[in-house]
Structures are given as structure tokens and as C-alpha cells.
Amino acid sequence: MLYHKIIVKGLVQGVGFRPHVYRIAKKLNLFGYVKNKGNFVEILINKKCQGFLTQLKKNLPQQAIITTIQTTTIEFKKSYEDFYILKSTKTNNLFDGILPQDLKICKECIEDIKMHSRFKHYAFTTCTNCGPRYSILKALPYDRENTTMANFNLCSACKRDFLNPKNRRFHAQPLSCKDCHIPLTFFSKNQIFSNEDAITQCALLIQQGGIVAIKGTGGFALACSIKHQKSIQKIRDFKQRPFKPFAIMVKDIAMARQYAFVSKQEEKVLLSKESPIVLLKKRKKMQDIAPNLNKIGIILPYSGLHFLLFEYLDTPIIFTSANQSSEPIITTRLRIEEDLYPLCDGILDYDREIANPIDDSLVQVTNSQVQILRIARGYAPLHLKIPHLKKNNKTQVGLGAEQKITLAYRKNQNIILSPYIGDLSHPNTLVFYEKTYQLFNMLYAIHPDVLISDKHKNYHSYDIGAKKSKEYTMIWEKKQHHYAHFCAIFADAMLQDSTLMPKEKVLGILWDGTGMGDDDKIWGGEFFIGNLKSYRRVGHFEEMGIYGGEKSIKEIYKIAYCLAKQFCKKTTFAKLQKQYHKSYPSIFPLFDTMIEKKIQSFTCTSVGRIFDAVAALIGVCNKNTYDSQAPMLLEALYQKNVHYGIYPFKIQKKIIKIHPLIEAIVQDMFNQIPKKVIATKFIHTLAYIALEFSKKTKAKKVLFSGGVFMNQALCEKIQELFQKEKDIKFYFHVFLPSNDSAIALGQVVNLS
């Protein structure tokens, strides 16, 4: 008998796609089946029906995405007299399948929690449109037996919903209710509470000033009321975060607006299925939460558990991951008890295992465009199909750099980017990195052919590439750090603009804190002309001599001193030198000797280091106690829609000469020009440097990447300037972060 076989690829697992197919087939009186094959859905119908394909693409489940549909006619021996959802099977080629991402609880499930039903006040209420996915996944295809829900049996009512095509919980894999519940427990210092009591007691302790560890979708977060400054300070002391900003969780948009300005686009992102932390402009100072910054990170409840907590809370809560900075998120109560029990007054835990730890994503909205700063829950794993890339059956793995690490897998035009992992300088992160590597190999049944790492020999990813390639006989390649940034933004731009071709030569402006250059010096203020095949360094900021070794990256007053000595007039520096010797009497006589003898010295072209120097020179920040502290404090001083002019600079033989800029900034500081004026002029100057260099190279297309472009004020000013240039098209990251989380993807994007 002739049947029509339809192969559908895309995000078609864990999103209610098979029930969607089933309902259409029943409505059209078609016979056959729908089956999950791991990386695609296979449909068999007994007659050709154009209406079926039309309806298939129409009214898709909320989270489903169709990338391709292939249809063929086949001879099939078996005859079907109804339409069925068959048991999933696994194919050998899983790579072009899309892993389901964890989703925020939907409105319908929140209503169920409020109503008198078996879901009333049940923290783990979910359906095919929401709830955990990646965090509970152990294997493909995405079926209950392949998740951490496998040990929880469905009650009779849930089973009926699960098998009822008309129910929105039809084939909802994480389904459970109060009758077949996931046990929820609150462990206080003295008592243990279960289920609904666990939530009320946890909320009560928070209101009383307690600090609790709350198990979320991807791991544990620390929480306390924002009203209790002593509790906030205890968390700061324990996490060794004297100034780093905390995010807060608020009940709803109305509460968010009490603490921050929220645009329509920002509201949309806060309420989105991804439910990230969104950086918003503060309404209040909140010095104990986000010291000296103009922004606050806000997140809404994204699970039933969080929603129920806020039924008993009338103020926001501090919401920060329970792990130390840049380490993997904690997923077990045992680790909390071992590492944080002296700090925590209580632990809110549940019995469902977190198979794959995942952080909360962090974003900001720049000129109405979502800019991803940390790619994690809701946004990752990220599957991209990059057009025009050469088809190659070899599986390439990008191992990333050192900080903000991710992994990227490529086969042909398909690329998968892992969620944010952390910084490889931490031993626990190295373990998590290896687990993530093994997880993706297992999920996609792949054996990597090519490993690509950063060229920097001191990076752990370099060592990992060397070791694995030798152990498993794989090809090992090294890619220059900023060329990986260039390739990442090139891929991002191709997704934004279908006219951009892989061999087209464009200008890349690549500014960050550090990256090993082709000359074995530290780069970070780069201008490349190239494509996905090759690149040429056509310009850079002039080299800066930095002394004091690795410590100077944190003790940035040393960078300020070095740049002033190198770029200021002798009389200007002499005046500054007296101030520094007076402020740091035990350091600078010795430091002058180090400079003279070139002890612990390195040169760099990094724009990130210039930000550090300027912040220290004008007294905004002398030490970086957290990543990007100095640039963030400068951005907080920035005056939008005010133009104070720009500082002088020179472009000589494609090198950005900054001695006039540094001299002018120091003079402004001596003349007691307000810090907000200096910060604004400095950021404007960088934007004009980008524009001036683009014009000098007669670039038609300009691509921006690197951690410096997480600075919202700088991005907005660059966009304002470039929008006036009719002959220049420009691109910032849309699908990827501009920081080192994009490096892994940039490593695998090439023409080979």
C-alpha cells in the first residue's frame, strides 16, 4: 500500500508537536502514525493531503519550530486503520535535531495552581507548553523514561491527561500532580516541612530575615529579603563579593516597576518563555544590592515553586546562584550542606534530580534588541543552521577559551552551542566542562573528528585539546582568539543578513580584555579585514606596557600608572606620580623600579585595559573585585543624550594612538572635571574611533565582537553614529553573546 512519509526537523521534541500532528490527522480522518526518531519526527499518512501540511505548519505549539519538511511516497506492507503515536526510536544521525530548552511556567499552569484541582498549590505543575526539559534530560529521544521523571509513576488522572489528545498535557513528559507528586521538603535548622508547608515555612523564614537555598530548575540559588541588609551582607561575605551586584526576583511586572524602569521591550523579555535575568535601569539606589551601578538585574518567577513562594512574600528577594563566582551551579542538598550550611538558615529541596545543571540567562535590551550576556536556561542549548557553510561530515568541536566557557559542535551547517559553563581556572568547572563534553557526545551519538582550541598555551582548553587529540587520535587545530570572535560575529551576521556570504571581506572590530595574538603578545583592540577563510590584522590600538604581572588585572591603579607614564607628558606624569606615591607609599617606589627594569611586564593592545586605566585615573575604581567592574562603573556614570565632545586621538598607519586621549583625561582629572563628563567623553571617543577607522578602510560592512561590546552605552553610541552612514552596514551580536561564550562557536565556523 502506498503511504506518504513526512520527515519534520527542528524543535519538535518536548513541545507538544506529536500531539499536534495527531490532532490534525484525526481531524482529517487520516490513517498512519507519528513517531519521534530522536533528531526528527517521522509521520506516515495513508493519502496525499495538502491540507495536512498546511495545518501542520499553522497553529504550531507555542515552542515548536520547524526547520525542514521532506515528503516521499513509499510502499508500506502494514495497513493502518487509525492514526497512532508510536513509541519513539533512535536514529544513528541525531545531529540536526534540536535539544528542548527549559521553559518558564505558562499562564494556563499558573491558573491551574490557583484553582481547586489536583494541581492547586502544586509546585511542579507543567504541560507540553512549559516546564523543565534540558535540565532533566538523560538521553534522546525526549521521552519520560529518558528523563529524571522516569522514577515518578503517573497517577490515574495524570495518565488520562497524558493519553488524551484533547488535553494540553497529552504526552507532557514532566507531568505530575499532588496525587503522584514530586516530594518537596524544607529543611530549617530545627524542623523539616513537606510540600505546601515547605513553601509557607520557607517564605516565613525569608520574611524574618533568614537566608535560604532554593532549588530551581537548573540548580540552587541563595535568597533573602531585600529588606534585611545584614542577610545581604552575610551572603556578600560568604561569597567574597564585596561589591558585585546581585539580581533580585520580583513577584510581577508591577513590582519590577517599583525598583526599575521597564520599557515595553524589556517587559516582553521579562515575561518571555526564556525568563532571563534582565538588566534594567534603577529607580532606587539600592547600594547594598548593586553598589554604584545604574542598573539592577531583575527576574520574574519562572517555575511553580517560585510563583507559590511569592504568594507569601510582599517584597523582592535577593536571587543569586549558591555557587562561588564562575564555578558550576550547585544541584544537590548535600553540596549545600557541605559548602553553605553555616550561611543557610534553611534549604528548599525537591526529589527530582537535576541531570544537567544550568544557570539563569542574563540579557539586556540595547536599542530594542535583546543582547545576550550569559547564554543559559531558556536560550541554550542553542541550535543554529548557518547558511552557505560547506557541507562536511566531520564533527568539529570548539573547546572555547578560558573564561565564560561554552562548547560548540558542528557538523555540516548545523552548530550546537552548550549552555554557559563557567571559568576553567576553577577545578570544579573543569569537571563540569568534561561532563558537558561527554553529555553532548552521548546525546548526539557523536565521536568528534576535529578539536579546535584557543592558541593561548596557558589556557586549560589548550591543554584539553592537546590531551584529547593524542588520547583519541583526533585532529587538533588552534585558532587565534580574536579571529574566533570575528568568525562568531560573522556567523551571527549571516543569520541576520542572508546577503552576507562566507567569502565576502568585511571589517571586524574586536575589542576585549585579553587574547593571545599571532605575535605571542596580548591583543584586545583589533581591526581585522577578512572572511570565514582568512583574516588580516589591518589595525590595532597602540601597544601598552603593563607591569605588575597578573595582579595588575585586578589592581588596576597599576595599569593607570603605567599608561600615564607611557602616554602622558613628563610634567603631567610627574604631578600624577606624586599623588600615587602619596596614596600608595609602600608600593610605588618599588613599582617604579619594576618598570625601569621591566620586571613582570607584558605588552597589550587591549581596550578592556584602557577602560580599567581610565576608571582608576579618575578615581572611580582602583581594584576590580569582580569581572568588568571598572567598565560597569564607568557606564553607570555615562550621560545619555548629552554630548560633551570627544577626547583627541590619532590614527597613524592604522594604529590608534592614545597618548593624546590619556593626557587629556588626566588633565580633566586635575581640573576636577566631573567624572560623569569624563566617562561620557571617553565612551563617545571610542565610538568615534570605530567610525573613523571604518571610514579610513572604506569598509562597507562592519562587524563588532568582544567583551567590550557588552557595554550598552558604547553600543548605543556606535549604532547612533553608524546609522547616519548610508554606505556602511553594521552588525552586533543578536544570537550569541559578544563575550568569550561565543568563542567556541567561532572556532568551528570556517570554510573547511
CATH number of the domain at 655, please. 3.30.420.40
Q: What is the pLDDT of residue 169?
A: 94
Beta partners for 249? 299, 317
- Looking at the fold, whether 518 and 647 belong to one and the same domain comes out as no
The pLDDT of residue 4 is above 90: no
Whether residues 653 and 725 share a domain: the answer is yes
65, 566, 47: which is closest to 56 by C-alpha? 65
d(CA 722, CA 690) in angstroms, rounded, equals 9
Which residue is associated with the grid cell 577626547? 647
d(CA 517, CA 203): 52
Whether residues 340 and 469 fall in one domain = no
Instruction: Please tell me whether residues 524 and 581 are part of one structural domain.
Output: no
Residue 600 pLDDT: 82
User: Same structural domain for residues 415 and 332?
Assistant: no
pLDDT computed for residue 141 by the predictor? 83
H or E stretch including 611?
A: helix 607-617
528: CATH: 3.30.420.360
pLDDT at 584 over 90: no
What percent of the chain has a predicted confidence (pLDDT) above 70?
A: 99
398, 452 contact by CB (below 8 A): yes
Which range has the top average pLDDT, 37-46, 61-70, 93-102, 175-184?
Answer: 175-184
Q: Confidence class of residue 92 from pLDDT cuts 50, 70 and 90?
A: low
Residue 252 shares a structural domain with residue 196: yes
Residue 290 in this model has a pLDDT that exceeds 90? yes
- Compute the Cα dihedral for 588, 592, 597, 602 and give only its sign: positive
Mean pLDDT of 226-230: 97
Q: Residue 197 maps to which CATH number? A: 3.90.870.10
Q: Which of 395-409, 527-541, 550-564 has the lowest mean pLDDT?
A: 550-564
Catalytic positions:
18, 36
Q: How far apart are CA 253 and CA 450, in angstroms?
A: 47
Shared domain for 551 and 509, answered yes or no, is: no
Q: Residue 93: its pLDDT value, please?
A: 61
Residue 31: give its domain's CATH number: 3.30.70.100
Q: Is the pLDDT of residue 90 over 80?
A: no
Q: What is the mean pLDDT of residues 169-175?
A: 93
At residue 567 the predicted structure's pLDDT band, cuts being 50, 70 and 90, is very high
The CB density around residue 378, as the number of other CB atoms within 10 Å, is 24
Q: What is the pLDDT of residue 50?
A: 74
Mean pLDDT of 448-457: 96
pLDDT at 280: 98
- State how far the Cα of 89 lies from the Cα of 38, in Å rounded to an integer: 7
- Across residues 111-125, what is the average pLDDT? 95
The CA-to-CA distance between both ends of the chain, in Å, stands at 44
The pLDDT-based confidence of 477 (bands split at 50, 70, 90) is very high
Mean pLDDT of all residues in 574-582: 92
Mind listing the pLDDT tens digit for each residue in 499-541?
999 999 999 999 999 999 999 999 999 999 999 999 999 999 9
Same-domain pairing of 216 and 343: yes
DSSP string, 647-678: ---EEETTEEE-HHHHHHHHHHHHTT--HHHH
Other Cβ atoms within 10 Å of 400 Cβ, number: 31
C-alpha cell at 122: 502544586
Asked if the structure places residue 127 within a domain, the reply is no
Considering the domain boundaries, does residue 122 fall inside one?
A: no
Domain tally for the chain? 4
Do both 71 and 191 map to the same domain? no
- pLDDT the model gives residue 752: 66
Answer whether the bond into residue 141 is a cis peptide, omega within 30°: yes
80 pLDDT tier (thresholds 50, 70, 90): confident
The DSSP code sequence of 152-216 is SPPPHHHHHHHH-TTSTTTT-TT---GGGPPPEEEEESS-EEEHHHHHHHHHHHHHTT--EEEE-
Closest CA to 565 of 554, 575, 550: 575
Dist CA 178 CA 256 (whole Å): 31
| Co-location of 299 and 209 in the same domain | yes
The predicted-structure confidence for 270-282, as pLDDT tens digits, reads as follows 999 999 999 999 9
Q: Give the mean model confidence (pLDDT) for residues 182-202.
A: 96
Q: Three cell numbers at 101?
A: 530548552
DSSP state of 274: S
Say what the pLDDT of residue 647 is: 98
pLDDT band at 557 (very low <50, low <70, confident <90, very high): very high
Q: String of b and e for 138-155 (b: at least 16 CB within 10 Å)?
A: bbbbbbbebbbbeebebb
Q: H-type helices in 195-293, by residue range?
A: 195-207, 229-239, 253-259, 264-270
Q: Is residue 193 part of a domain?
A: yes
pLDDT tier, 58 (very low <50, low <70, confident <90, very high otherwise): confident
In a domain, 113, yes or no: no
- pLDDT of 53 reads 86
Q: Name which of 690, 523, 677 is nearest 608 in CA terms.
A: 523
Could you tell me how far CA 94 lies from the centroid of its own chain? 24
pTM for this one?
0.93
Instruction: Say how far apart CA 747 and CA 407 lie, in whole Å.
Output: 10
Q: For residue 356, is it within any domain? A: no
Cell triple for 716: 548605543
The verdict on residue 39 lying in a domain is yes
Instruction: Examine the domain organization and report whether 338 and 476 are in the same domain.
Output: no
In a domain, 301, yes or no: yes
Q: How far apart are CA 96 and CA 38, in angstroms?
A: 10
Residue carrying C-alpha cell 577607522: 693
Show the domain range for 204: 184-350
Would 314 be classed as within a structural domain? yes
Cα–Cα–Cα angle for 130, 136, 137, nearest 5°? Answer: 105
pLDDT in tens, 345-387: 999 999 999 999 999 999 999 999 999 999 999 999 999 999 8
**pLDDT value of residue 258:** 97
The per-residue pLDDT of the chain, averaged, comes to 94
Report how far apart, in Å, the C-alpha atoms of 462 and of each of 78, 422, 451, 664 are: 54, 16, 10, 41
Question: Are both 478 and 454 inside the same structural domain?
Answer: yes
